[in-house]
Structure 1
Amino acid sequence: MINRVILVVLDSVGIGELPDAACYGDQGSNTVGNIVKACGKLDIPNLCRLGFGKIEGVDYLDIPPRIYGCYGRMTEVSKGKDTITGHWEMAGIQLKEPFPVYPSGFPCEIIDEFKAAAGTDILGNYAASGTEIIKVLGQEHVNTGYPIVYTSADSVFQIAAHEDIISLGRLYDMCKQARGILKGRHGVGRVVARPFTGQYPDFRRTGGRRDFSMEPVSPTILDELQQKGLPVAAVGKIEDIFSRRGITEAVHTSNNQHGMELTGEYLEKLDRGLIFTNLVDFDMLYGHRNNAPGYKKAIEEFDAGLDGLTSRLRDDDLLIITADHGCDPVTPSTDHSREYVPLLLYGRNIKPDVNLGTRETFSDIACTIAEIFDIPYKFPGKSFFGEIKP
């Protein structure tokens, strides 16, 4: 019997382009594979013991003589390659239309309404790297007090502000105002608060980021678990991704290590239910910045810390490790990439060394959790629980 599921998302750790990658401009993307080609062998013995090297297409990792986990890869069927789309799909929502993107900036109708609601003019309104735009516009923002509005290849409306010029509370209020405006055909996936501090030219972003996401468009496995009275603990930005819906407890993280520590703390607190963790450093610090050596080190650090997590698992626990998309730091693009994601499972009460193959949708995770907890709601996809239980 499984009483707890621990779902850990390695944000952007993709393992090779999907068949439709060319439609997204992502030909040749392979986040983990290209890191190995560029930076050399990955030292990740714990993930390899779970079967990472036996996943189809992953021919660059060690395969130890004994495999303790189950392994496979998952295909994203939703339209898009962003954080929300990936997480929503693994929770049971398949999006047939992508969230809108604004590579040329937001239309006047949106910006004018935002300026009226916020009572201020703005700077920016174009697609840019968050670290770069505060270098370019940060001092003008300090001088004028106008917030910096920008976007990216993702469906995001981002607002950057110096904490000494616009308080965190005021920045969050602006984001809520933008969230109220951005709906319907302009319903972007996320409105993101991007506070920063420092003095020109050494501005730096702070840990006060907050995401204001679209509310899920249909029931998720989180909603169904909560409705059944089971705890759903969210670690990292999971709470934001699901607009706080279907979540009973939530904590935010400062880095990957902190996320692992908080996940371990929930193992001591919860007897049943779901612990849902996002580890964002891979994507935020290394993928988007095309820092392949840093990305490699982050994967190895996660692997080194995995022993500390698995040693705290009970016999009735199931650990699921996956990702939400790719973000290949080796290709010229700094955007997310349309890739397969790994599916690795570990538990003392499941069969070892089971090849789960190529799953047709991330939603197989929602179906599996639903079967484990006897939830009648039918999500799209197919449970793999029958393939791993003794």
Structure 2
Amino acid sequence: MNINRIIWIVLDSVGIGEARDAAKFGDEGADTLGHTAEANGGLNIPNMVKLGIGNIDGAHNLERCDNPIGCFGKMAEVSAGKDTTIGHWEMAGIYSPDPFPVYPDGFPDCIIDEFIKKTGIPGILCNKPASGTQIIAQLGDEHVATGKPIVYTSGDSVFQIACHEDVVPVERLYEMCETARHILTGKNAVARVIARPFVGENGNYKRTPNRRDFSLKPSEDNILCRVCDKGLDVIGVGKIHDIFAGVGLTESKHTNDNQDGMDVTLDYMKQDNKGIIYTNLVEFDSTWGHRRDYKGYARGLEEFDVRLSQVLDTMKDTDMLVITADHGCDPTYKGTDHTREYVPLLVYGKCLKRGVNLGTGDTYADIAQTLAEIFGTEPVKIGKSFLNKIM
């Protein structure tokens, strides 16, 4: 039986233990899944257990399954980064040997001056690495009083702009981000410009779901473009459109949170499409990982696991489910940044073998190479297909 459709779900930041090169990134000992389970006295995730999450080599504090119905493994990252963009690009078959630029001391005057001039704003606030929730609490009142956007970065390659929706309308904020995206090129080509709208008053501010990411355009030498060129559907759910700047997608839909992401994914699964449904569930990273909220992280995993049962029930005989992640963000670890980790790989389909240990892949692009073989496209440049192991 042929596989006609891939349901590809990325649990944003759900790593499964320090990568072999974690020391280069200062991330020795990180383990997003293992430490989250340990800190909460275990995780109630029976559907992922059934697929084999606890059977992955080196998994800690996760329940094993005697007869898993899925195939399971983990993958290392070869690209020079540990952020969302590089992770997703690599799993689509794009190798990024050079890291995107980061700004631990804030952005240079030449960038900020040009940004102010081209947007016509009265100036900016902040211009340093910061926690998004903390910086709007600190500077929100001044922003409301002056109209100056809050511009900040993080350990990632990002240029973030936070504005109150009543002070700067969301569409105007998006225009500012487009302007910044055009400025940030060459040696200053950050991976993402991010719109961070918020609401509230008097120091009590809350970010809204109207976030938008303005990413660099990836190479078209990737599995999404290959599958699209075959005349098949490539549907992005959540941040996927932003991460790939729309490249290689036939359709996409932004989502507000993980639950919305699962609703949209299930809606697409019930439609008559063939190709790829590619979903990013961002809350693990943005809401719990960076906030170092290990209780929320555990709750999010358990909530996803409940929805996973609906995915399994909705799958057609010719569907294949792939669950993975794009990096780690250990909520028990020091700092607030991503962590360089292996990512889990769970694969399931009614026409696939069960209980196969896929071991450790050398690159996230093993997924892309497997999809290239499934859909009969030209192979991507990196990665090794695991199709022969699971069929």
TM-score when normalising by structure 1 = 0.98
Post-superposition CA distance 1:106-165 (Å, at most 9, x none): 011111111111112111100000111111111111111111100000000000001111
Q: In the superposition, relative to structure 1, how do residues 289 and 59 fare at CA in structure 2: closer, same or farther (>3 Å)?
A: closer
The alpha-carbon deviation at position 355 of structure 1 amounts to 0.6
The answer for unaligned runs of 5 or more in structure 1 is: none
Aligned length: 389
Q: Show the 5 A alignment for 1:372-387.
A: 372-387=374-389
Deviates more, 1:54-63 or 1:338-347: 54-63
Q: Which of 180, 189, 192 pairs up with 2:191?
A: 189
- Match 1:347 to one of 346, 349, 367: 349
Aligned to 2:100: 99
Displacement, 1:236? 0.3
In structure 2, the residue matched to 1:77 is 78
Cα distance in structure 1, aligned partners of 2:380 and 2:52: 29
Report the counterpart of residue 335 of structure 1 in structure 2: 337
Distance in structure 2 (CA, Å) of the matches to 1:314 and 1:259: 20
- C-alpha contact 2:222 2:380 (8 A) present in aligned 1: no
2:384 is aligned with 1:365: no
Alignment pair present for 1:280 and 2:282: yes
Distance in 2 of aligned mates of 1:186 and 1:9? 28
TM-score, normalised relative to structure 2: 0.98
Once residues 378 and 114 of structure 1 are traced to their aligned partners in structure 2, the CA distance between those partners, rounded to angstroms, is: 37
Q: One-letter code of the match for 1:242?
A: F
75-84 or 18-27, which deviates more? 18-27
Structure-2 separation of matches of 1:219 and 1:366: 11
Which of the residues 377, 381, 390 maps onto 1:388?
Answer: 390
Which residue pairs with 1:230 in the alignment?
232
Per-residue deviation at 1:261?
A: 1.1
Aligned-partner residue type, residue 265 of structure 1? D
Residue pair 2:82, 2:338 contacting (<8 A) in 1 also: yes
**3-state secondary structure, aligned to 1:140:** helix
Which whole-Å deviations, capped at 9, do the CAs of 1:60-83 have from their partners, x for residues lacking one? 222233210000000000000000
Q: Is the CA contact (8 Å cut-off) linking 1:231 and 1:270 kept in structure 2?
A: no
Give the deviation of 1:295 after TM superposition. Answer: 0.4
Q: 2:342 and 2:116 mapped to 1: Cα distance?
A: 40
| Residue range with higher mean Cα deviation, 288-297 or 213-222 | 213-222
Supply the AA of the counterpart residue of 2:90: E
d(CA) in 2 for partners of 1:277 and 1:379? 23
Question: 1:15, 1:167 → 2: CA distance?
Answer: 40
Distance 2:42 2:287 in 1: 21
Offset of residue 379 of structure 1:
2.8
Match of 1:27 in 2: 28
Deviation at 1:41, TM superposition (A): 1.1
Identity of aligned residues (%): 54
Aligned to 2:171: 169
The CA deviation string for residues 295-350 of structure 1, in whole angstroms up to 9 with x for no partner, is: 01111111111111110000100000000000001012211000000000110010
2:238 and 2:255 in contact (8 A); partners too: yes
Amino acid at match of 1:57: G
The equivalent of 2:128 in structure 1 is 126
C-alpha distance in 1 between matches for 2:362 and 2:176: 39
Q: Assess if the C-alpha contact under 8 Å between 1:366 and 1:379 holds in 2.
A: no
For the residue of structure 2 that corresponds to 1:311, the secondary structure is helix
Cα distance in 2, alignment partners of residues 270 and 133 from structure 1: 45
The answer (yes or no) to whether the contact 1:43–1:300 under 8 Å persists in 2 is yes
AA of the residue aligned to 2:38:
K
Equivalents in 2 of 1:366, 1:327: separation in Å? 23
Q: Which amino acid aligns with 1:36?
A: A
CA distance in 1, matches of 2:274, 2:203: 49
- Aligned partner letter, 1:89: E
2:272 & 2:118 partners in 1: Cα distance? 42
- Is 2:22–2:28's contact at 8 Å kept on the other side of the alignment? yes
- How far did 1:218 drift? 4.4
Q: Which moved more, 1:25-34 or 1:150-159?
A: 25-34
Tell me the distance in 1 between the aligned counterparts of 2:272 and 2:160.
35
Structure 1's consecutive aligned runs of 4 or more residues displaced over 2 angstroms after TM superposition are none
Q: Which runs of 5+ in 2 are unaligned?
A: none
Post-superposition offset of 1:268? 1.5
Distance 2:379 2:346 in 1: 24
1:271 paired with 2:273, answer yes
Query: C-alpha separation between the residues in 2 aligned to 1:62 and 1:154?
Result: 32
> Paired residue for 1:214, among 205, 213, 216?
216
Q: Which residue of 2 aligns with 1:309?
A: 311
Matched residue, 1:11? 12
Counterpart CA distance in 1 for 2:278 and 2:5 is: 11
Offset from partner CA, 1:78-110 (integer Å, 9 cap, x none): 000000010000000010001000011001111
What secondary structure, in the 3-state scheme, does the structure 1 residue paired with 2:161 have? strand
Alignment deviations for residues 38-73 of structure 1 (CA, whole Å, 9 cap, x no partner): 111111111111111110111422223321000000
Structure 2 Cα separation of the partners of residues 349 and 379 of structure 1 = 28
Give the direction of change, closer, same or farther, for the CA distance of 1:275–1:307 in structure 2 (3 Å limit): same
2: distance between equivalents of 1:194 and 1:38?
30
